[in-house]
Structure 1
Amino acid sequence: MVPHARYGNVRIHADAPTSRLRLSGDVPWRGRTLPCGLAPVRCTSNGKTDVTVSGTRGPRVAIIGCGLGGIAAAVKLKKKGLDFTVFEQSEGPGGTWWDNRYPGCEVDIASHAYSFSFLTYDWTRTHAGQEELQRYAEHVLDRFDVRRHCRFGVRVESATWDEETARYEVRLADGTAEPFEVVISCLGLLSRPRYPDWRGLDRFEGPKFHTARWEHEHDLTGKRVAVVGTGSTASQVVPAIAGKVGQLYVFQRQPGWVLPKGERDFTARERAIFRRLPFVQKIRRLFMFWKFRMVFKGYNPRGRMQRKILRLCHEYLEKTVEDPKLRAQLTPDYPWACKRPVLSTGFYPALNRPNVELVPHAVTRVTPNGIVDATGVEHDIDVLIMATGFETTKFLASLDVRGTGGVSIHDTWKDDPRAFLGITVPGYPNFFMLYGPNTNGGFSVIAQLERQAEVAARTVAEMRRKRFRAVDTRPSATDRWVRWVDGQIGKNTSSSDGGCTNYYHAESGRNVTQWPKPHGEYYLLTKALPFFGFIKVR
């Protein structure tokens, strides 16, 4: 954990228990507090609601999505004795790890960091694969008795705020609707695959599919296969199928910086130590977060760590790729971390195989039997695999959220999503997001999700304790937060002028996905911001 974090000209110190965080600097709003910067909403109804605000029930909460974010929210609410229902459109939990089942699928963050702080787990690999991650999601769900709160195979279409009753009408895909006092969206950043708009794509006669919707019924043995993309997903798919296919074309629009992941199985001795001495696993996890703080210095495009990491990337490329021409095609011309860094031990070696060809050009169109690249060359293929990423900047795209006055959140954002702490939006009372704008990163997204879940659960618990009917976010708090985040992003390599093509920027030009600091700062800010002055509800 870091000793302090800065928010504007306010210094947040971590030398005291989090319930008594010490602040110094300009704290103009101190002394008037409400959890997570929320202000009261005056409901127009004069009658009493039937919401139980004492005992163990409190406001009814709808959690939309049962990925790891939804599971985190459910566990936090469960621990506080709150009433909730989890809606999940898939037939099981796991979110992205339920959907993504392509060959070679695994996490590129160490397993002990890509897990919740409140539960140790017997991981078998340093970097867990999809099946183990799915088992982990199931384990947490059952360990905290959350499954009985889940409704699988149920898709939520909309959530509309009713100012008279201080409730959301949550409408499901089957046409039914249910009332909830609080809604927590856990839809995730990687829930909607991005399909390219190549001319002629619909005319391709062979199998074609996105990696997030892998069609396992197709046997790739001996086939001519195209993988479009060279990001994190493609770097896993390519080595997994290269030994099976007859010919593999890898289409690269822009090269990315690659470092080895160093994945391996834990030894039996290591696993025994982690099981018998859980604190060792916790210490290992904390060490990983500390180590990332050092690596994060590389996000400064002019810093010493940036130069060090670039040197390591060049050395790895030189050592791993044999052909000088291929090495040149794989060398980026922009700073490290301008786009998401790739961690892969198998990607470069796979490109050395005689049946694998890197095509260093974008795809312009598709024919019935092949792909035409930007130079006009057509490549005949049997199977087309799109590793083209996700619609990361279109937050809540599959959910119609309407707040005060019936205004849609998408009309409020106008292609420029923003939220206080990445969690709440002014004008949308009792509505919370996990994995919202500018919360991606920080090393482990699981740690980020856990903090967001805690903020939401803590606020709902406070609503029950103080008998609040509704809480909302102050626009001034949101504006200040967004200005601060934008200012921090402008200092690192993920800013809009980094020179690369990444998935961070909305049509407005703002980076709307990335958290600009290590996780420690987000941890402290989500602990401390309630102290920045938000009035109590009377």
Structure 2
Amino acid sequence: MIRVAIIGAGLGGIAAAVKLRKAGAACTIFEQSSGVGGTWFDNRYPGCEVDVHSHAYSFSFLKYDWPRTHATQPELLAYAEHVVERFGLRPHLRLNTRVTDLVWEESTSTYRLSTEHGDTEEFDVVVSALGLLSVPRYPQWPGLDTFAGPGFHTSRWEEHDLAGKSVAVVGTGSTAVQIVPAIAPQAGQVYVYQREPGWVEPKNEHDFSPRQRWIFRNVPLAQRLNRARIFHNGNRRFRGYDTGSRRQHRMRALCERFIATTIKSPPTRTAVTPDYPWGCKRPILSSTFYPALNRDNVELVPHAVRRVTPTGVIDETGAERKVDVLVLSTGFQPTKFLAGIDVKGRDGRSIHDVWRERASAFMGITVPGFPNFFILYGPNTNGGVSVIAQLERQAEVVVGAVRRLARTRRGSIDTSPDAARRFVEWVDRKLATSASAMSSGCHNYYHDPSGHNVTQWPGGHLAYAVATRFVARFGLRTTR
């Protein structure tokens, strides 16, 4: 039986474990946190919820009774726990165990895996399911370490009584737009610092009615049909990333109409309206952020932060505002793939040395010279309507490779360098005309310091499903 190590017990690691166990592989899941769920275990800030429809942000192999269109963080955590119990993964979990090193042993065609506790084990196959948004980005503002009050990143949320307090929320991305409406009713004053506006669409979230939930539970095809509808609409929406398309103009018009009909203050309307194409940044879905800006105790500061004092925040105009609590909604470092793990492949090469100029992988899953090593949520796989569906397709590639190893009785599966090169060239060509290209004029998290877009998949989910099913196998080769 092939022994597989899965690093990470988020939804990607869970998907891989379910599919690999069905294929007869022996799995061990290593998780550095004390529970499963990945990002939904780490992020517990007020208002935290997913911005993808629940029926799409869940596994295709399990029907689930979702209570609302967009699941909250507690509901997603409960879902992860449910899947673990439903498929008997609990005995295979190693919680509170961070993997530090992987070393390929050519003589045995195995990886030697080391943990923070000093333990070592050997595995035939290793799957990294670390996730994309897991390493917080902390700003380098002068004086940040001198701030006297509570100050923390949103992914490391600290519970404080905000009643009557002055709170600065720095950032207006997908996390901040959830936090601001959630804390504004309790806080005395909320300052929202916006370096650059983002296109915001109405989310239209709501609870399912008892009748809807009954239909989704009891009518066999209802949930599948709704899921298919979501993916169909998502694939149509993806056409908007072409800056010259009619869909691009429609999406901009939708967002502009949302601003005009929701925000009362003309200066605020102007401040939140981007001057770059829709899709240049990750589009934001929120029905409650703009209304929160109408509150008397919420002020939008359309300027970047310059520095921090012990008692306040100074923006780029030099204006200082006194605050009691500082919330950093400053994002993550998604281009630092496999951060915290040293992976050595053939000839002792470190994957971080191979990626010195650019992180890349064939189909975002495998890297030449690192046999039997697979990455979920790897380079250029973000997007495609729902990351859960992307993760399932990646897990299926892993299952196919494991079955191939068992069938051929060969020691390893490696990646053709030529196939990997052609894949990256194709990705670059497709992304060059996308709204997310650097030439579109916005700041986004997609690009590495050298300007390569290393995070985004340049198409909808259907294209990725076809590529992983029919193309991936031609880039992988078995060796002795």
Q: Same fold (TM over 0.5)?
A: yes
Selected match of 1:133 from 69, 76, 96? 76
Selected match of 1:179 from 115, 122, 133? 122
- Does residue 369 (structure 1) correspond to residue 328 (structure 2)? The answer is no
Which residue of the partner structure matches residue 466 of structure 1? Answer: 408
Please report how far the alpha carbon of residue 525 of structure 1 lies from its aligned counterpart in structure 2 after TM superposition: 0.5
Q: What amino acid sits opposite 1:314 in the alignment?
A: E
CA contact (8 A) 1:99 1:212 kept: yes
CA contact (8 A) 2:384 2:461 kept: yes
CA–CA separation in structure 2 for the residues paired with 1:122 and 1:474: 43
- Does residue 220 (structure 1) correspond to residue 162 (structure 2)? The answer is yes
Q: What amino acid sits opposite 1:481 in the alignment?
A: F
CA contact (8 A) 2:235 2:384 kept: no
CA–CA separation in structure 2 for the residues paired with 1:367 and 1:534: 55
Which residue of the partner structure matches residue 300 of structure 1? Answer: 242
- Does residue 513 (structure 1) correspond to residue 455 (structure 2)? The answer is yes
Which residue of the partner structure matches residue 409 of structure 1? Answer: 351
Please report how far the alpha carbon of residue 536 of structure 1 lies from its aligned counterpart in structure 2 after TM superposition: 5.6
CA contact (8 A) 1:204 1:368 kept: yes
CA–CA separation in structure 2 for the residues paired with 1:260 and 1:415: 39
Which residue of the partner structure matches residue 97 of structure 1? Answer: 40
Please report how far the alpha carbon of residue 144 of structure 1 lies from its aligned counterpart in structure 2 after TM superposition: 0.9
- Does residue 248 (structure 1) correspond to residue 190 (structure 2)? The answer is yes
CA–CA separation in structure 2 for the residues paired with 1:349 and 1:530: 46
CA contact (8 A) 1:238 1:347 kept: yes
Which residue of the partner structure matches residue 174 of structure 2? Answer: 232
Q: What amino acid sits opposite 2:15 in the alignment?
A: A
Please report how far the alpha carbon of residue 165 of structure 1 lies from its aligned counterpart in structure 2 after TM superposition: 1.6
- Does residue 487 (structure 1) correspond to residue 447 (structure 2)? The answer is no
Which residue of the partner structure matches residue 52 of structure 2? Answer: 109
CA–CA separation in structure 2 for the residues paired with 1:491 and 1:182: 37
Which residue of the partner structure matches residue 282 of structure 1? Answer: 224
CA contact (8 A) 2:181 2:292 kept: yes
Displaced runs of 4 or more, over 3 A: 530-538
Please report how far the alpha carbon of residue 445 of structure 1 lies from its aligned counterpart in structure 2 after TM superposition: 0.2
Selected match of 1:397 from 325, 339, 359? 339
- Does residue 476 (structure 1) correspond to residue 418 (structure 2)? The answer is yes
Deviation string 1:142-183 (CA, Å, 9 cap, x unpaired) is 111111111111111111111122111111001111111111
Deviation string 1:348-395 (CA, Å, 9 cap, x unpaired) is 000010100011011111110111100111111000000111111100
CA contact (8 A) 1:394 1:415 kept: no
CA contact (8 A) 2:55 2:226 kept: yes
Selected match of 2:3 from 14, 39, 60? 60
CA–CA separation in structure 2 for the residues paired with 1:183 and 1:531: 18
Q: What amino acid sits opposite 1:356 in the alignment?
A: V
Structure 2 vs 1, CA of residues 303 and 235 (structure 1 numbering), >3 Å: closer, same or farther?
Answer: same
CA–CA separation in structure 2 for the residues paired with 1:490 and 1:361: 29
Equivalences for 1:443-462 in 2 at 5 Å?
443-462=385-404
Structure 2 vs 1, CA of residues 73 and 415 (structure 1 numbering), >3 Å: closer, same or farther?
Answer: same
- Does residue 501 (structure 1) correspond to residue 423 (structure 2)? The answer is no
Which residue of the partner structure matches residue 155 of structure 1? Answer: 98
CA–CA separation in structure 1 for the residues paired with 2:479 and 2:302: 59
- Does residue 388 (structure 1) correspond to residue 333 (structure 2)? The answer is no
Deviation string 1:87-136 (CA, Å, 9 cap, x unpaired) is 00011100000000000000000000001111110000100000000011
Please report how far the alpha carbon of residue 533 of structure 1 lies from its aligned counterpart in structure 2 after TM superposition: 6.9
Structure 2 vs 1, CA of residues 366 and 267 (structure 1 numbering), >3 Å: closer, same or farther?
Answer: same
Please report how far the alpha carbon of residue 294 of structure 1 lies from its aligned counterpart in structure 2 after TM superposition: 1.3
CA contact (8 A) 2:414 2:479 kept: no
CA contact (8 A) 2:362 2:475 kept: no
Selected match of 1:203 from 123, 146, 151? 146
Please report how far the alpha carbon of residue 531 of structure 1 lies from its aligned counterpart in structure 2 after TM superposition: 5.8
TM-score (norm 1): 0.88
Which residue of the partner structure matches residue 469 of structure 2? Answer: 527
Which structure carries more relative contact order (alpha carbon 8 Å, separation 6+)?
Answer: 1
Please report how far the alpha carbon of residue 278 of structure 1 lies from its aligned counterpart in structure 2 after TM superposition: 3.1
Please report how far the alpha carbon of residue 532 of structure 1 lies from its aligned counterpart in structure 2 after TM superposition: 3.9
CA contact (8 A) 2:189 2:297 kept: yes
- Does residue 262 (structure 1) correspond to residue 209 (structure 2)? The answer is no
Structure 2 vs 1, CA of residues 433 and 90 (structure 1 numbering), >3 Å: closer, same or farther?
Answer: same
Structure 1 residue ranges without an equivalent (≥5): 1-56
CA–CA separation in structure 1 for the residues paired with 2:145 and 2:50: 32
Which residue of the partner structure matches residue 88 of structure 1? Answer: 31
Q: What amino acid sits opposite 1:266 in the alignment?
A: F
CA contact (8 A) 2:405 2:478 kept: no
Q: What amino acid sits opposite 1:500 in the alignment?
A: C
Structure 2 vs 1, CA of residues 123 and 300 (structure 1 numbering), >3 Å: closer, same or farther?
Answer: same
Which residue of the partner structure matches residue 69 of structure 1? Answer: 12
Q: What amino acid sits opposite 2:76 in the alignment?
A: L
Please report how far the alpha carbon of residue 485 of structure 1 lies from its aligned counterpart in structure 2 after TM superposition: 0.8
Please report how far the alpha carbon of residue 253 of structure 1 lies from its aligned counterpart in structure 2 after TM superposition: 0.3
Q: What amino acid sits opposite 1:78 in the alignment?
A: R
TM-score (norm 2): 0.99
CA contact (8 A) 1:159 1:400 kept: yes
Deviation string 1:372-430 (CA, Å, 9 cap, x unpaired) is 10011111100000011111110001111111111110100114100000000001111
Deviation string 1:35-75 (CA, Å, 9 cap, x unpaired) is xxxxxxxxxxxxxxxxxxxxxx2x21110000000000000
CA–CA separation in structure 2 for the residues paired with 1:115 and 1:192: 23
Deviation string 1:208-238 (CA, Å, 9 cap, x unpaired) is 011101012x111110000000000000000
Structure 2 residue ranges without an equivalent (≥5): none
Q: What amino acid sits opposite 1:330 in the alignment?
A: V
Q: What amino acid sits opposite 1:101 in the alignment?
A: R
CA–CA separation in structure 2 for the residues paired with 1:288 and 1:63: 30
Q: What amino acid sits opposite 1:490 in the alignment?
A: A
Please report how far the alpha carbon of residue 458 of structure 1 lies from its aligned counterpart in structure 2 after TM superposition: 1.4
CA–CA separation in structure 2 for the residues paired with 1:423 and 1:529: 12
Please report how far the alpha carbon of residue 491 of structure 1 lies from its aligned counterpart in structure 2 after TM superposition: 1.8
SS at match of 1:209: strand
In our comparison, the structure showing a higher alpha carbon Rg is 1
Which residue of the partner structure matches residue 112 of structure 2? Answer: 169
Please report how far the alpha carbon of residue 535 of structure 1 lies from its aligned counterpart in structure 2 after TM superposition: 5.3
Please report how far the alpha carbon of residue 534 of structure 1 lies from its aligned counterpart in structure 2 after TM superposition: 5.6
What CA RMSD, in Å, does the superposition of the two structures yield over aligned residues? 1.0
Between the two proteins, the alignment pairs up a number of residues equal to 480
SS at match of 1:294: helix
Q: What amino acid sits opposite 2:350 in the alignment?
A: S
CA contact (8 A) 1:120 1:278 kept: no
CA–CA separation in structure 1 for the residues paired with 2:265 and 2:86: 51
Identity of aligned residues (%): 58
SS at match of 2:221: helix
